[in-house]
Structure 1
Amino acid sequence: MARHIYSCPLRWSDMDAFGHVNNAVFISYLEEARIDFMFRLAPGDGSPSFSGGSVVARHEIDYKRPLVHRHEPVTVESWVTKISAASLTIAYEIKDEDQVYVRASTVVVPYDLEAARPRRITAEERSYLMEYMVEDADGTEGTGRADEKDALAA
């Protein structure tokens, strides 16, 4: 299984009154990594994959330890845990080499901006996402929760 690696800089404004990255800022870090994964690295030269838009249907975040400001970026690793007809689940770890600060997941729904409605995942998108798909220890696809079924299904 491949993981997408994103190097995310920390900004002084990310800190809260306690001197560590504010919990809400971690969502921005996840967004930066997700956009880098889905759009900048989309398959094909000039491919329209993922370019039509997407919406976040769900975030789930487990804060493991505080992250304090420093000049070195933090690493955000992303991979796919579930692909359905009209949604996908991306898992993340925000980490350094020796420790994890956050584990999270996001359910993303591809969206047709012109039609103002969700759309199905294309074959090209599915092929790209499968490169980052993880399997559970029992051999079944994904680690997505049962209540994440086809969010906003088309």
Structure 2
Amino acid sequence: MSPSLTTQAFSCVLPLRWSDQDLNGHVNNARIVTLMEEARVAWLNRTAVKEGVASFTNPKVIASLTVEYRRPVHYADELIMDLRISRIGTRSFTITYHASQRGDTAFTGSTVVVPLNPATSASRDLLPDEVDYLSRYLSTDEPTRTTTETR
């Protein structure tokens, strides 16, 4: 495995609701995608803005989304989600997700995020401060938790 470019990752504890479960007694697979969204919003729309990157509150779209389910997610256990950046392009970036319960990987995933011009709804170039912020989380390995937010 190649060395990590950074060890920084955004980490948050996501609350699970009783209603997230399906008839099998675990969190429904569709709800997993919503949990990824909640973590992404907590990171970009709150934490990044607090750190001075207000443009992340502007519209964004998800161009691609993948999820690999490793084990069931259960309501009773704390769900920790680590987010990092695996790619920064001119008009998009890729977030990778690693979710765990009791230290075991529950699922991994990724999203390609495309920022939009709020006036035209067209894709736009990433701004220099966005690239600088995202670069702090750029990694090729599993993240090490450094920033934690409890939702």
TM-score by length of 1: 0.82
CA RMSD of aligned residues (A): 1.6
Matches within 5 A, 1:100-111: 100-111=105-116
Match of 1:92 among 80, 92, 97: 97
CA distance in 2, matches of 1:2, 1:45: 15
CA distance in 2, matches of 1:130, 1:104: 19
1:21 alignment counterpart: 27
Task: Find out whether 1:10 has 2:16 as its counterpart.
Answer: yes
Which structure 2 residue ranges, 5 or more long, are not aligned? 1-6, 142-151
Tell me the amino acid that sits aligned with residue 72 of structure 2.
P
2:70 alignment counterpart: 64
CA distance in 2, matches of 1:20, 1:98: 17
Q: How many residues align?
A: 135
2:85 alignment counterpart: 80
Tell me the amino acid that sits aligned with residue 58 of structure 2.
G
1:42 alignment counterpart: 48
Q: Is the 8 A contact 1:43 1:125 kept in 2?
A: no
1:66-89: per-residue Cα shift (whole Å, max 9, x none)? 11211x531010000000000000
The structure whose residues are more often helix, as a share, is 2
Which structure 1 residue ranges, 5 or more long, are not aligned? 137-154
1:122-151: per-residue Cα shift (whole Å, max 9, x none)? 000000001100036xxxxxxxxxxxxxxx
Identity rate, percent = 33
CA distance in 2, matches of 1:31, 1:87: 17
Comparing both chains, which one has the higher relative contact order based on Cα–Cα distances under 8 Å and sequence gaps of 6 or more? 2
1:120 alignment counterpart: 125
The structure whose residues are more often strand, as a share, is 2
Q: Is the 8 A contact 1:43 1:128 kept in 2?
A: no
Tell me the amino acid that sits aligned with residue 136 of structure 2.
E
2:144 alignment counterpart: none
